[in-house]
Amino acid sequence: MRILCVIWFSLLATLVTAEEIVLGLSSDQVSIDTSFDGSEILIFGAIKRETPIPEGKPVEVIVTVAGPSEPVTVRRKEKRLGIWVNTESVEVDAAPSFYAVVSSTLLGLSLNDVEDLRHRISIPRAIRSVGAPMNITDASAFSDALIRIKSNADQYQLVEGAVSVDEQTLFRTAIKLPAALTEGNYATRIFLTRDGEVISKHETSIYVRKVGLERWLFRLSRDNTVVYGIMSLAIAIAAGWGASAVFSAFRR
């Protein structure tokens, strides 16, 4: 019996690793300077197989790119006495600063709910919100609002049918990064799925960092807040004085 178990697990491991991902990136680093207005990362690769492709069961490819996660407070606004005021709020424990999901077909066709829950692939699954105050009866509405706000800013993206798969072997896609990026490692995952189940996964990362003046200002704001505050105030005063001088010159 023990020998049969060993043989069974060996066969299972062979089936699990029958299709593997060989990945390439156009760049594994993005530099942000004062002229940065966004970037595009080309992700491409191939599927290495030890066995023939199952007939009638095409492979699908899903790519996700996630920026550093951070807690986010989502507030609800209501109009009272003609004024919009904050009423209720929910603390989202961890939400990616940037999150993109790109798939070779409709996400619902290439991934079932169980696999989505296990790997946290879709945008709602990527957001971790443990709980909400007892007085909040519609906590999911706050997560939906966060997704809507981030999507409008192009920081959350779902692009279906944008991964090209050639001959069930080669795949490629491009991820558009917006101008407003948080510095850090952007976890990049590639999933192969068949019949809605994940059959292979590969992980890598893209490092986003500030350079030049952007880097200096970022470090100054973190390491010496007093100097940064004084400098910001001086710049604001100088800008105000300059605008006033120009306006006065035009009036004369």
* DSSP bridge partners of 118: none
The answer to whether the CB of 34 falls within 8 A of the CB of 203 is no
For the stretch 166-220, pLDDT in tens is 988 999 999 988 888 888 899 999 999 999 999 999 999 988 876 544 544 555 4
The answer to whether the CB of 99 falls within 8 A of the CB of 155 is yes
For residue 174, the tally of other CB atoms under 10 A from its CB is 16
In CATH, the number for domain 13-210 is: 2.60.40.3880
For the stretch 79-90, pLDDT in tens is 666 666 666 777
Cβ-Cβ contacts under 8 Å for 230 (sequence gap 6 or more): none
Dist. CA 46–CA 26, nearest whole Å:
15
Domain ranges for the chain: 13-210, 211-252
pTM, two decimals, is: 0.73
